[in-house]
Amino acid sequence: MTNAHKQNSMALFRDKCRQHNLSITPQRTVIYQELVKSKNHPDSEDIYRTIKNIFPEISLDTVYRTLAKFAEIGLIHLVEGYGEAKRYDPDTNNHHHFRCSECNKIVDFHDDSFDNLKVPKAFQKSFKVVNVKIILEGTCDECIKKL
Amino acid sequence: MTNAHKQNSMALFRDKCRQHNLSITPQRTVIYQELVKSKNHPDSEDIYRTIKNIFPEISLDTVYRTLAKFAEIGLIHLVEGYGEAKRYDPDTNNHHHFRCSECNKIVDFHDDSFDNLKVPKAFQKSFKVVNVKIILEGTCDECIKKL
DNA sequence: TTTTCTGCAAATCCTTTGCATATCC
DNA sequence: GGATATGCAAAGGATTTGCAGAAAA
């Protein structure tokens, strides 16, 4: 996160909380601060461990609840782990996936422009990229009808 | 999976198993057959439930072990759920992620060509796509040095 | 017959939930 | 003061593990 973003982040935090009628508690404040400082896309345990030092009475499930809530209101993003079970695909040919956020259905699709993406040069130099995974997220045709 | 693929799939299964010195057991055979038949990217429970009818003595952890093994040798792909804890990102600006398969580190990157992908027309018609998630998978600079 | 796999049960890891108390607005 | 959040403890779901017997190469 850039410095400009860091400076504004606490204001963003307060605005977002007010918008969604969330109380601004010391726990939430500290959790958000730690998250903004972090560089490694932490999980709840990571945040909990860090905060314990400066806020010993905080509980792990508050961290879980708070991070989930932050993600729900769009203050932060969930980048790994969806709480879902592992799901498998017997088709190993090149294709991509759409996942419906409502019913968790996964639909395959093929698209040339998605297949031919060039990995950024900065990565090719020092990283070995084996796979490019693309997931479209949204609402599927059936769920649109239901809503 | 197309008919051509289905016809070849059992041969593929046997070849891959032989290549990796895996015994061809009834359990593995049935699990792979069910997976090929499936259309919905099933999880271990789904496969287990389906197989129970025709193979009542199979155990759930065999299904878990088998699917993990199949994915390991590249016979099938893991498409959802990484067994990892949920991880969060305080940066809500447009960017993408690289994840190291060795150390699970997640690195942010920015790239215009990735930002400007056009969602396939077939999807725009009947699906509502809210987000395009791109994850590069591979080995990071530090882990390359270690290996 | 030697290696590999399976089934069972127990354990583990991540996460959620119910409830009483404490805190925020 | 009423709504909301927290902490604790217990429960839950998904997955893994250790081990002994069974099946594969």
C-alpha angle with apex B26: B55 to B19, nearest 5 degrees?
150
Q: Average pLDDT, stretch A25-43?
A: 97
> What is the per-residue pLDDT for B53?
94
> What is the per-residue pLDDT for A35?
97
Secondary structure (3-state) at A28: helix
Distance CA A32, CA A76 (A): 9
Q: Chain B: give the shortest CA distance to residue A82, in Å.
A: 6
Query: Residue B107 is inside which H or E element, if any?
Result: strand B106-109
Secondary structure (3-state) at B56: coil
Q: Average pLDDT, stretch A40-57?
A: 96
Which residue in the set B77, B90, B118 is minimally distant from A88, CB to CB? B77
41-70 of B, contacting A, C-beta below 8 A: 41-45, 67, 70
> What is the per-residue pLDDT for A7?
56
Give how far the C-alpha of residue A52 lies from the chain's centroid of Cα atoms, to the nearest Å.
Answer: 23
Task: Say if A3-89 and A96-146 have the same CATH topology.
Answer: no
Among A42-46, A93-97, A121-125, B43-47, where is mean pLDDT lowest? A121-125
Distance CA B132, CA B94 (A): 10
pTM for the model:
0.91
- In this structure, what DSSP letter does residue A43 have? B
CATH number of A3-89: 1.10.10.10
- Compute φ and ψ for B56, nearest 5 degrees: -60, -25
Taking 70 as the pLDDT cut, the residues of chain B under it are 1-7
Chain-chain contact of A133 with B134 (C-beta, under 8 angstroms)? yes
C-alpha angle with apex A94: A123 to A128, nearest 5 degrees?
20
> What is the per-residue pLDDT for A94?
92
Q: Does A4 touch chain B (CB under 8 A)?
A: no
Domain residues of chain A, as ranges? 3-89, 96-146
Q: Which chain A residues have a beta carbon less than 8 Å from that of B67? A: 86, 88
> What is the per-residue pLDDT for B52?
96
What is the chain B residue with the closest CA to A87? B43
In CATH, the architecture of A96-146 is: 2-Layer Sandwich (3.30)
Decide: B104 and B84 in contact? Cβ < 8 Å. yes
